[in-house]
Structure 1
Amino acid sequence: MAGDELSGLLDQQVAVLMCTYNGAHYLQDQLDSIENQKYKNWYLYVSDDGSQDSTRDILRAFEAKTDWLRVIQGPRNGFCQNFLSLICNGLIKADYYALSDQDDIWHEDKLLRAVKVLSDIPCETPALYCSRTKLVDERNNETGLSPLFKHAPGFRNALVQNIAGGNTMVFNHAARKLMLEAGPDANPVVHDWFLYMVVSGCGGVVIYDPVPSLCYRQHAANLIGANDEFIARLRRFGLMLSGMHRRWNTRNIEALSGLREKLTPENRYIYDEFSRFRNASLWNRLVGLYRTGIYRQTLAGNVTLWLAALFKRL
Structure 2
Amino acid sequence: MSAMLKLSVAICTYNGERFLREQLDSIARQTRLPDELILCDDGSSDRTLQIIDNFASSAPFEVKSSRNVSNIGSTKNFERAIGLCDGDIIALSDQDDVWHRDKLEVIERAFLDAPLTGAVFTNGAVVGDDLSPLGYTLWDTFRFKKKQQSCFKKGRALEVLLNHDVVTGATMAFRSALRDIVVPIPVEWVHDAWIALLTSIYSKIDFIDKNLIDYRQHSNQQIGSVKKNFTDHKNVAQSITDYYAQISKYEMLLDHIRCLNQVPNDYAIGKLHDKIEHMEVRNSICTSPKIIKTVEATCELLNRRYHNYSNGYFSFCKDIFWGD
How would you bin the TM-score normalised by the shorter chain? 0.7 to 0.9
Give the corresponding residue for 1:144.
Answer: 135
Give the corresponding residue for 2:88.
Answer: 95
What percentage of residue pairs aligned between the two structures are identical? 23
> What displacement does 1:175 show?
2.5
State how far apart, in whole Å, the 2-side matches of 1:312 and 1:268 are: 32
State how far apart, in whole Å, the 1-side matches of 2:56 and 2:130 are: 26
Give the corresponding residue for 1:27.
Answer: 20
The total of aligned residue pairs comes to 294
Q: Secondary structure at the match of 2:120?
A: strand
Give the corresponding residue for 2:288.
Answer: none
Give the corresponding residue for 2:177.
Answer: 174
CA contact (8 A) 1:273 1:288 kept: no
CA contact (8 A) 1:127 1:206 kept: yes
- Partner amino acid, structure 1, of 2:256: L
Q: Secondary structure at the match of 1:237?
A: helix
Instruction: Classify 1:56/1:198 alpha carbon distance in 2 versus 1 (closer, same or farther; 3 Å).
Output: same
Greater Cα offset, 301-310 or 263-272? 301-310
State how far apart, in whole Å, the 1-side matches of 2:129 and 2:318 are: 36
Matched, 1:53 2:46: yes
Give the corresponding residue for 2:290.
Answer: none
Give the corresponding residue for 1:259.
Answer: 256
Instruction: Classify 1:142/1:209 alpha carbon distance in 2 versus 1 (closer, same or farther; 3 Å).
Output: same
- Partner amino acid, structure 2, of 1:276: E
Q: Secondary structure at the match of 2:210?
A: coil
State how far apart, in whole Å, the 1-side matches of 2:135 and 2:174 are: 26
State how far apart, in whole Å, the 2-side matches of 1:103 and 1:40 are: 19
Higher Rg of the two aligned structures: 2
> What displacement does 1:120 show?
2.6
* Runs (5+) with no aligned partner, structure 1: none
Instruction: Classify 1:271/1:12 alpha carbon distance in 2 versus 1 (closer, same or farther; 3 Å).
Output: same
CA contact (8 A) 2:306 2:315 kept: no
CA contact (8 A) 1:16 1:99 kept: yes
Instruction: Classify 1:110/1:294 alpha carbon distance in 2 versus 1 (closer, same or farther; 3 Å).
Output: farther
Alignment of 1:207-222 (within 5 A): 207-222=206-221
Q: Of residues 97, 101, 104 in structure 2, which corresponds to 1:108?
A: 101
> What displacement does 1:264 show?
1.8
- Partner amino acid, structure 2, of 1:23: G
Q: Secondary structure at the match of 1:133?
A: strand
State how far apart, in whole Å, the 2-side matches of 1:83 and 1:48 are: 10
Q: Secondary structure at the match of 1:212?
A: strand
Instruction: Classify 1:245/1:171 alpha carbon distance in 2 versus 1 (closer, same or farther; 3 Å).
Output: farther
Q: Deviations over 1:21-75 (max 9, x none)?
A: 1101111100000011111242111110111110000100111112621112235
> What displacement does 1:305 show?
4.7
CA contact (8 A) 1:126 1:174 kept: no
CA contact (8 A) 1:134 1:216 kept: yes
Q: Deviations over 1:54-102 (max 9, x none)?
A: 0000100111112621112235132222212322x2x432100011000
Matched, 1:131 2:101: no
Q: Deviations over 1:129-178 (max 9, x none)?
A: 11111011111111122215221331122123111211000111233231
CA-based RMSD? 2.9
> What displacement does 1:189 show?
2.9
* Runs (5+) with no aligned partner, structure 2: 285-292
State how far apart, in whole Å, the 2-side matches of 1:212 and 1:245 are: 34
| Moved beyond 4 Å, runs of 4+ | 281-297, 305-313
